[in-house]
Amino acid sequence: MRTLYKFHGGVHPPEHKEESNRLPIAPAPLPKRLTVPLRQHIGNPAIPVVKVGDQVLKGQMIGAADGFISAAVHAPASGTVSAIEPHAVPHPSGLPDLCITIEADGEERWIERAPLDYRNADPDAVRLRLRDAGVVGLGGAVFPSHVKLNPGAPAGIKTLVLNGAECEPWITSDDRLMRERAAEVVEGIKIMAHLMRPEEVLIGIEDNKPEAAAAMQAACRGTGYEVVVVPTLYPSGGEKQLIKLLTGKEVPAGRRPVNIGVTCSNTGTAYTVHRAVNHGEPVISRIVTVTGNVLEPRNFETLIGTPIAEIVQLAGGARPGTTHYIMGGPMMGFGLDNLNAPLTKAVNCVISASPALFPPAPPPMPCIRCGRCAQACPCELQPQELFWFSHSRNFDKARAYNLFDCIECGACSYVCPSHIPLVSYYRFAKSEIATRDMEKKLAEQARERFELKQQRLEREKQEKAARFAEKAAAAAAAKAAAAASGVEDPEAAAKKAAIQAAVERAKAKKAEAAAKAEGAETPAEKIPQGDSDPLRAKARAESYAASTENNTDS
Amino acid sequence: MVFLGIVLGAVLGYASIRFKVEGNPLVEKVEATLPQTQCGQCGYAGCRPYAEAVAAGKAEPNQCVPGGDNVAKSLADLLGVEFKPVGGGEGSGPKPRQVAFIDESTCVGCTACIKACPVDCIIGASKLMHTVIANQCTGCELCVPACPVDCIAMLPVKENIANWKWHYPVIEIKKAA
């Protein structure tokens, strides 16, 4: 028996698992219209690769991964692309996002599905397959798996942790998946282990899921993978908490598990890895728990893009008294404004909420500094301090108190006797700080661009000045050379000759005129004129020559 | 005592050369506070010249229009002077982020805006259509008056999923039962 370690704090909210975990996973029928968001993962949203009016096959890539941290999205059914436009998506903001809408034709024509022999393939080829199959972490953060399943660090990966804790109340999708498809989950773990080459593989499952643990144990026989049953305590399914529980290692503040030689993945992700690699099936469906105030709470294997309203109908529809819907669990989930929003890879649970099940929170009272939140915090933070700093918008202090290590699990809000919505304050402070950092980065870039422009202008000015100076120097040198050698270049000589000729002509004309008028007028009157005119002509010709020279210079 | 004085004097002399402060550190601090819009609305040719003027005491710390009262406040704190709202009286919040947009059907390709852009964010060439690098545009509006055919508009950046922020928690006041 493995020694288990303890993480700090934790709470025991009512589990509410038995409502939805009794019935097996039911396949959901094909909806008429599927709306597939292009942003279903962390990183860049996928780029659409189909046009409105295109015929698509089931499993065909309709959005390609954009960059390294991104993943593809696929057509969940065969049919026609009817729109590529913003559509309601399940997001706490309630804002629309770009989606591809497909009218299903009901024929369910698949793309060609080819398994990949991962044992003999290049690991990068396997990772590429995962990216193009849209495999992302299904535990909630939807981080692209091809990025995560890369040992990268020179020290390598010592432990691969599979997260089957599912600690959040009400949700049972991983529980049912492990009970019913343990063998396939283990096949997926084999692929992950092949890519990561860890020394040990640990599968953590909370002790409120004995059937799932037994099924996984049976499936792991002979593989060397160890199923570890951990005590039920929220949030044992948090990545850093589960790693602490199983290995005793703590992920340092601001670092990721890979920095201490551990990688943690959800069991649901392992299942999709298996489908993608061994069956060539991209992620076009997921198991979602529909529970709460519905007639028949249950898990459904539902196509991505199915409207949430239809998913609620699968469970018999909402019972009277439903006031709102929650996406995810009650601790970390958020309210859904629009039931037209489609199912995405991140949605593991839809809860129909009624005041009987989720009594509205009493009005928040002032913090009484009791410190219960600090006792409950699984990250060993000081939630009350973070609350004061976030509340007073003292963001630098909040950051200094490691606000960014908060996993927003909600344990602090759960125990707060003053019913303060602590996590809302942390989320506000986090997004405010992130925005400011972004603005600072943009300002820094703007400053650089401004300085570069100034430098460029300065450089161009200097270059122009240098060009002028060079030309002027060259001209002066040529003149000086001509003067020194006494030899004129042919052009100047021609010019001079022309001027001389003009002067001669003028002189001749004057002389002719003078000879004609000789008899009538006194020569004394005429002589100065005849002398001055050729001089003027010469001066004019010279100034003209100088001006043309200047023109060619500039 | 004399010996000690000589030694310490030598140490101080060395330190003054070795740890000489290049430039005015206050300028850097002021510049880091400014939004780097490079719009010139403060009356200086960019954020750096304004920062230098503020640090030298030649300019008031409340002249940055895009930064609004937030920047004016932090600059006043930094300089240890009393805060005065931007624009003399009424004051203003930071301007919402905006980007220039070129109506490409009207653009005549004159390159006037390219010369006006302080951060080189407009691409184009003579007699060819111009366009704005939207994510690097500081929204300074300097290109708007430069355009001879009025084809540049300033558009506010709309809220979308990528730039959405969690709001400050607001607790509804309900009537006590």
Rounded CA separation A149/A136 (Å):
11
Whether A447 and chain B come into contact, CB under 8 Å, resolves to yes
Contact B160 A447 (CB under 8 A): no
The three-class DSSP label of residue B103 is coil
Residues of chain A positioned with their CB less than 8 A from the CB of B159: 93, 95
- The residue extents of the domains of chain B are 25-94, 98-156
Could you tell me which residues come within 8 angstroms of residue B156 by beta carbon, excluding any fewer than 6 positions away? B96, B97, B98
- pLDDT, mean of residues B74-92: 77
* DSSP reduced 3-state for A12: coil
For residue A35, CA distances in Å to A101, A111, B81 come to: 4, 19, 57
CA–CA distances in Å: residue A146 to residues A409, B15, B35: 26, 54, 38
Nearest C-alpha in A relative to B31 = A447
Strand runs labelled E in A178-293: 200-206, 226-230, 262-266, 285-292
Check if A85 contacts B (Cβ < 8 Å).
no
CA distances from A373 to A9, A253, A430 (A): 9, 19, 19
- Asked whether the beta carbons of residue A449 and residue B31 sit closer than 8 angstroms, the reply is no
Nearest Cα to A185, choosing from A208, A163, A158? A163
pLDDT band at B71; cut points 50, 70, 90: confident
- CA-based nearest residue in chain A for residue B121: A449
CB atoms inside a 10 Å sphere around CB A84: 19
What is the chain A residue with the closest CA to B175? Answer: A363
> Of B35, B84, B90, which is closest to residue B64 (Cα–Cα)?
B35
Cβ(A277)–Cβ(A195) below 8 Å: no
Quickly list DSSP for A308-349.
HHHHHHHTT-BPTT--EEEES-TTT-EEES-TTSBP-TT--E
pLDDT (0 to 100) of residue A88: 93
Min mean pLDDT across A331-345, B84-98, B133-147 is at: B84-98
* Among candidates A39, A92, A447 on the partner chain, residue whose Cβ is nearest the Cβ of B36: A447
Contact list in A for residue B68 (CB cut-off 8 A) is none
Q: What SS3 string covers A357-409?
A: CCCCCCCCCCCCCCCHHHHHCCCCCCHHHHHHHHHCCCHHHHHHCCHHHCCCC
pLDDT at A550: 46
Mean pLDDT, residues B82-89: 74
Task: Indicate the class that CATH gives domain B98-156.
Answer: alpha beta
Question: Is cis: bond before A528, omega within 30 of 0?
Answer: no
**Contact residues on chain A for B166, CB-CB shorter than 8 A:** 92, 424, 427-428, 430-432
Predicted local distance difference test score (pLDDT) of residue A528:
46
**Helix, strand, or coil here: B92?**
coil
Q: Tell me the C-alpha distance between B139 and B134, whole Å.
A: 9
Q: Which residues of A359-391 are buried (b: 16+ CB within 10 A; e: fewer)?
A: eeeeebeebeeeebbbebbbbebbbbbbbbbbb
* C-beta atoms of B136 and A449 within 8 A: yes
Q: What are phi and psi of A291, to 5 degrees?
A: -150, -170
> What's the residue count for chain B?
177
Element (H, E) at A84: strand A79-88
> Which SS3 state, helix, strand or coil, does residue A93 take?
coil
In order of their start, the domains of chain A are: 26-353 (3.40.50.11540), 361-487 (1.10.1060), 498-518+535-554 (no CATH)
Whether pLDDT at B92 is above 70: no
In chain B, whose CA is at the least distance from the CA of A440? B35
CA nearest to A390 within chain B: B168
Query: CA nearest A334: which of A384, A404, A433, A408?
Result: A408
CB contact under 8 A, A432 and B121: no
Rg (CA), chain A: 40
* DSSP states along A429-453: HHHHHHHHHHHHHHHHHHHHHHHHH
Which residues are paired to B53 by β-bridges?
none
How far apart CA B116 and CA A482 sit, in angstroms, is: 46
Q: Using the structure block, give the residue that is written with the tokens 């043309």.
A: A548
Write out chain A residues lying below 8 Å of B167, CB-based: 428
Distances (CA, A) of A207 to A51, A167, A329, A346: 49, 10, 19, 25
Size of interface A-B (CB pairs under 8 A): 75
> What is the number of other CB atoms lying within 10 angstroms of the CB of residue A206?
24
| CATH code of the region B25-94 | 1.10.15.40
What's the token pair of residue B128?
């060819």
CB contact under 8 A, A446 and B46: no
**ipTM (interface pTM):** 0.80
CA atoms of A163 and A158, how far apart (whole Å): 16
Dump pLDDT digits (tens) for B11-65. Answer: 999 988 888 777 778 888 888 888 888 888 888 888 888 988 988 888 888 888 8
Give the tokens for residue A210: 């004995």
A424 chain-B contacts, CB cut-off 8 A: 166, 169
**The pLDDT value given to residue B36:** 87
Measured between beta carbons, the chain A residues lying within 8 angstroms of B164 are 91, 93, 95, 431
Tokens matching residue A167? 């600690």
Residue in chain A lying closest to B39 (CA): A450
Chain B nearest CA to A446, separation (Å): 6
Helix (H) or strand (E) segment spanning residue A543: helix A523-553
Contact residues, chain B to chain A, C-beta under 8 Å? 31, 34-38, 46-48, 117-121, 136, 138, 159-161, 163-169, 171, 174
Tell me the C-alpha distance between A403 and A164, whole Å.
27
Q: Does B118 contact A453 at a Cβ distance shorter than 8 Å?
A: yes
Distance, CA of A545 to CA of A551 (rounded, Å): 10
Distance of CA A243 to CAs A8, A236, A260, A404, A443, Å? Answer: 13, 9, 10, 19, 39
**CA–CA separation, B169 vs A124, rounded Å?**
45
Residue in B47, B164, B174 nearest the CB of A447: B47
Q: pLDDT tens digits for chain A (554 residues)? A: 688 899 999 999 999 999 999 999 999 999 999 999 999 999 999 999 999 999 999 999 999 999 899 999 999 999 999 999 999 999 999 899 999 999 999 999 999 999 999 999 999 999 999 999 999 999 888 999 999 888 776 678 899 999 999 999 999 999 999 999 999 999 999 999 999 989 999 999 999 999 999 999 999 999 999 999 999 999 999 999 999 999 999 999 888 888 888 999 999 999 999 999 999 999 999 999 999 999 999 999 999 999 999 999 999 999 999 999 999 999 999 999 899 999 999 999 999 999 999 998 888 999 999 999 999 999 999 999 999 999 999 999 999 999 999 999 999 999 999 999 999 999 999 999 999 899 889 889 998 998 899 899 999 999 999 999 999 999 999 888 877 776 556 677 777 888 888 888 888 888 888 777 765 554 444 444 444 455 555 555 555 555 544 444 43
CB contact (8 A) between residue A95 and residue B160: yes
Cβ-defined contact of A449 to B120 (cutoff 8 Å): yes
Q: How far apart are CA B155 and CA A393, in angstroms?
A: 29
Task: Determine which of A450, A453, A459 to mutate to test the interface with B (most B C-beta atoms within 10 Å).
Answer: A450
